[in-house]
Amino acid sequence: MRMVDIIEKKRDGGKLSEEEIRFVIKGYSRSKNPIPDYQMSALCMAILFRGMDDEEIAILTDAMMHSGDTIDLSAVHDITVDKHSTGGVGDKTSLVVGPLVSACGAKVCKMSGRGLGHTGGTLDKMESVPGMRIGLSEEEFVKQINNVGIAIIGQTRSVDPADKKMYALRDVTGTVESIPLIASSIMSKKLAAGSNAILLDVKFGSGAFMKTFEKAKELAETMVKIGKALGRDTRAILTDMDQPLGLAVGNSLEVKEAIKTLHGEGPKDLVELAIEAGAIMLEQAKKVNNLDEGRAKIAQAMHDESGFKKLVALFKAQGGDFTYIEKPEKFPVSKYEIPVYAEKDGYVRRIDSLEIGLSAMRLGAGRETMDDVIDMSAGILLNKKVGDEVKKGDLLATCYTNRMGVEKVIEDVHNAFSLEKDPVKVPPIVHAYIH
């Protein structure tokens, strides 16, 4: 079998066989004499233009998943559930939904990532708490899931090495925006993490990778098909990222907002998303008979603070100083707090998520490259959301930073708010449920 023949077959619109797909992934992943990058990039470009059918994508995902280690969760004494977000601005959902679902009796096991560019990462938020360990061994991971009911860790180097190589290659060859390649990248990591059930939170809008509802729906449907083809209960929700989620953007700021939400004091959109996602996960874990029962249980766990107690237990189990969760005033505060005021009356029509995310990064809250060091206290707190009435001089947002010379960033934050004269209808946070 020759790589050039496989490239030409896909270039001409042919369907790759299981043998051919596994040959490619095995050959590209091996340490000695791997398939060269220039041939792999040619195949990725052919896939970008010609696509893959459902069977090809499922085989590709399975081959990538088995290119390295997979986590064995058979020792967990229950159905395991996982949630994955495709990335957004202010998305601290895992720190809210995970504890709530666990407090309702389900086993939540999640392998998370770090933030890059305008999107935040769950691991970075968790590490804003001193001492927090995200590198657990598989034995520690399983033990914590059994004993605590929830564990959130980082991806190990040995999990899905094919995806690491392919993602880096796609990033520099203009082949990122391919639904088969995006879907197999996400799902191979999720499946390698070992959970029985997966809920995908697929974002769309200015602050999301998928800018339109239609493309997000296509991606979600593709990933759900992959999961089902490979024997996992996989479902998806499509959620709005045309404005930041909640009010806080930035690591410790988002942890504090997650804490407030678990005390029953969270912003409306985050609470709505947490209840809907949590209900689906409880149904997947077979802890409720239907979504209405699930919504009621999640809301109760928020009301009685059992979800908050589970968040404390999560940080305590992974070595974090849980007193920061109990007393969030312990988090360091940035040296500079810069208010952003409205210059006219109106109603908030839009808050550009991408601009807010990039501005938070420039204040120190994110990374432009993976080597950048994050300022955990930096970020942006919104004071207005879409639909809110604004008077000239009202506070739109507050920027937190330890950097000087950020006048342009403050201007960008102001310009991220679009106002109009007439009242604005507030869109729902969850637009579709695919299962």
Please identify every residue annotated as catalytic.
84, 163, 170, 185, 189
* 8 A C-beta contact, residue 277 and residue 92: no
What amino acid is encoded at 3 in this protein? M
Q: Which two tokens stand for residue 53?
A: 């059918």
Quote the CA–CA distance of 295 and 283 in Å, as a whole number.
Answer: 10
- Whether the CA torsion 52, 184, 38, 87 is positive or negative: it is positive
| Long-range contacts, 33-36 (Cβ 8 Å, 24+) | 35/3
**What are the strands of the beta sheet with 80-85, ordered from one edge?**
150-154, 107-112, 80-85, 197-204, 233-240, 430-434
Quote the CA–CA distance of 128 and 378 in Å, as a whole number.
Answer: 11
Q: Are strands 336-341 and 248-249 parallel, antiparallel or unpaired?
A: unpaired
Q: Are strands 379-382 and 248-249 parallel, antiparallel or unpaired?
A: antiparallel
CA triplet 420, 424, 429: central angle to 5 degrees?
130
Quote the CA–CA distance of 226 and 234 in Å, as a whole number.
Answer: 8
DSSP conformation letters of 38-75: HHHHHHHHHHHHH---HHHHHHHHHHHHTTSB----TT
- Whether the CA torsion 400, 405, 407, 413 is positive or negative: it is negative
Task: Provide the CA 373 distance to its chain's centre, in angstroms.
Answer: 20
231: CB partners within 8 A, 6+ apart: none
